[in-house]
Amino acid sequence: MNNPFIALIALFSLSIFSLKAQSDSSNYSGVDYVQKKEEKKLFLDNEIKRFRIGVNYGWGYSTGRLSDDIPGEFKQYVEELKSGATFSADVSYLIKNSIGFGVKYSNFNSENSLDNISITYPNGLVRYGVMRDDINVQFIGGTFYNRIFSKNKKNNFFMGLSLGKLAYKNDAIVIDKLTLTGNTFGIVADIGYDIAITEDLAISFLLSWVQGALSEIKVNQGGSVQKIKFDTDQRESLSRIDLSIGLKFVK
């Protein structure tokens, strides 16, 4: 071009067009990035991943009152049996973002032993030996779940109510070996808090209340089985409180 003014205008126009094209490209990339980021669902805000598996381990304490019939020298021993380790696992499916159903399993284990005990029989015979208890209380039942999200949608409170079967077993030794078993209806109420780690994993803090009582118990000693029934006000309590921590997986 011979006219430098026209050439300058043409160059300026090309520059503006180039900058606009770059700006449009940059804005598109930014929007695309934001959209992709928004599509990345958080662990607890994902409406697609409805299948959940949780496992917890912790400590449990039996809330039942000690019988007045326990001899004074054994009360400390029985009191120590009231606390023990707990394990629980649950599988649930969310039919809505805040409501679900599932299955829950839990086990409470407590052990204690005492050496050099003595038993005096009505005929005057005295025997010496070991006393030991290895108690397991298992629960399995159906569960209804409800959850409430935190403000940031990353974590949530949850509540559960389970109805099912409580199974009691004590592999005991009172000089001789014997096994005590019993079953009853049980209720478990859960309240907890999940803290998301990744899209598929959270740390779970759980407080559980287990309720149930045995109306009868079977004692198996050397192949001989004896059934012992309790009065209503003397039933063997299986109630306890559990505190545990665990992991929750989603798929």
Asked if 117 contacts 128 with a C-beta cutoff of 8 angstroms, the reply is yes
Q: Which CATH architecture has domain 46-250?
A: Beta Barrel (2.40)
Q: What is the pLDDT of residue 66?
A: 84
User: pLDDT tens, 177-195?
Assistant: 999 999 999 999 999 999 9
Residues 6+ apart with CB under 8 A from 195: 154, 155, 202, 203, 204, 205
Where in the chain are the domains? 1-40, 46-250
Tokens read off for 162? 């389970």
Other C-beta atoms lying within 10 Å of the C-beta of residue 59:
13
42 φ, ψ to 5°?
-80, 160
- Pair 133, 81: CB distance under 8 Å: yes
Tokens, residue 94:
């969310």
pTM of the prediction? 0.79
In tens, the pLDDT along 229-247 reads 998 888 999 999 999 999 9
pLDDT at res. 20: 43
To which residue do tokens 């430098």 refer?
4
Asked if 113 and 130 touch (Cβ cutoff 8 Å), the reply is yes
Within 10 angstroms of residue 93's Cβ, the number of other Cβ atoms is: 12
Strands (E) across 5-97 are located at 51-62, 83-94
Residue 47's pLDDT is: 52
CA 74, CA 106: separation in Å to the nearest integer?
28
Residue 42 CB neighbour total at 10 angstroms: 14
Q: 101 and 93 in contact (C-beta within 8 Å)?
A: yes
Query: What is the model's pLDDT at position 215?
Result: 95
Query: Looking at residue 43, what is its pLDDT?
Result: 53
What are the DSSP E strand ranges found in the chain? 51-62, 83-94, 99-120, 126-149, 155-174, 176-196, 201-211, 213-214, 216-221, 224-229, 236-237, 240-250
Contact 113, 77 (CB under 8 A): no
Are 1 and 11 contacting, i.e. CB atoms less than 8 angstroms apart?
no
| pLDDT tens sequence for the chain (251 residues) | 444 434 433 433 434 344 344 444 444 444 444 444 444 444 554 455 788 999 999 999 999 888 878 888 888 999 999 999 999 999 999 888 789 999 999 999 999 999 988 888 888 899 999 999 999 999 999 999 998 888 777 788 999 999 999 999 999 999 999 999 999 999 999 999 999 998 889 999 999 999 999 999 999 998 899 999 998 888 999 999 999 999 999 88
Distance CA 231, CA 213 (A): 11
